[in-house]
Every structure is written in structure tokens, then in C-alpha cells.
Amino acid sequence: MKNVTVTMEDSVAEWARLEAARRNTSVSRLVGELLAEKMRHDDAYERAMQDWLHRERSWASDGQAYPARGAL
């Protein structure tokens, strides 16, 4: 594990202290958990985006305009 110094607004630090106390943990562990959760979320999003971008498309267009809403 690495130790890191973080600079934040006083109001953010106060919220972090209260949230850590509510979760019965330290501010350090709270920040680490929040960052780990963000990392997992971003990784999952990136994997889903890459999957979608590289998926074979089953639809094709013949170049004609889409039908009007009323026609559907």
C-alpha cells in the first residue's frame, strides 16, 4: 500500500470525516474504497464500450430515409 497526501476543501474534509465515522472506518480507508469503486466502474464502462464498438452489426441500410413517425 502507498501513503498519499490529498488536498481538499474544508467542507469536503468535514464530509469525509463524518462519512468515515458513519461507516465506522478511517478517512484514509474511505477515500481508498471510493477510488477503488470509481476504478471498477470506469473499467466496466470501458469494457462495455469496447465490446459495443467492436460488435458485428446485424443491421444494414439501403441508403433510403427512415420512415416518418406517423407512418410507423
pLDDT digits (tens, 9 = 90+) for 22-57: 999 999 999 999 999 999 999 999 999 999 999 887
Res 59 pLDDT > 80: no
CA distances for 49 relative to 34, 38, 70, angstroms: 22, 16, 33
Instruction: Find how far residue 66's CA is from the centre of its chain.
Output: 34
Instruction: Report the C-alpha gap between 51 and 45 in whole angstroms.
Output: 10
- In the prediction, which pLDDT does 33 show? 96
- In the prediction, which pLDDT does 11 show? 97
Delimit the domains of the chain by residue range. 28-54
Each residue of 29-65: b (16+ CB within 10 Å) or e? ebbeeeeeeeeeeeeeeeeeeeeeeeeeeeeeeeeee
